[in-house]
């Protein structure tokens, strides 16, 4: 357990930050899962709509520091690539 005043404050801040980050990660994963499910169903319109909804969540998570910016960029890129490839098949 923290003994000093500053260590106690740091522990409180960590608890708050953890809760915020967990919420952000959950929303990110849920939005990505919706896009992947739409891609798996084979419906390009639904997949494109899901990607359009998911992209702001992914970018915002990177801006807030929940995930690394390169991870967010990679996820958006890969999902967009999969949705784009659906039209050619």
Q: Where are the domains of the chain?
A: 5-86
**Over 60: is that where the pLDDT of 89 sits?**
no
- Rounded to a whole number of angstroms, the distance between the first and last alpha carbons of the chain is 58
pLDDT digits (tens, 9 = 90+) for 37-88: 999 999 999 999 999 999 999 999 999 999 999 999 999 999 999 999 987 5
Question: Using the 8-state DSSP alphabet, how is residue 4 labeled?
Answer: S
Tokens for 52, please give them: 């359009």
Read off the pTM.
0.81
**Rounded distance, CA 61 to CA 64, Å?**
5
The predicted pLDDT at position 87 comes to 73
**Averaged pLDDT, 17-38:** 95
Residue in 83, 25, 17 with CA at minimum distance from that of residue 57: 25
CATH T-level topology, domain 5-86: Methane Monooxygenase Hydroxylase; Chain G, domain 1 (1.20.58)
């Amino acid at each position: 357990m923290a003994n000093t005043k500053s260590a106690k404050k740091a522990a409180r801040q960590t608890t708050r930050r953890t809760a915020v980050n967990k919420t952000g990660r959950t929303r990110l994963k849920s939005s990505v899962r919706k896009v992947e499910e739409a891609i798996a169903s084979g419906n390009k319109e639904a997949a494109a709509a899901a990607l359009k909804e998911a992209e702001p969540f992914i970018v915002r998570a990177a801006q807030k520091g929940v995930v690394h910016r390169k991870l967010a960029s990679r996820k958006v890129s890969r999902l967009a690539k999969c949705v784009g490839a659906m039209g050619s098949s």
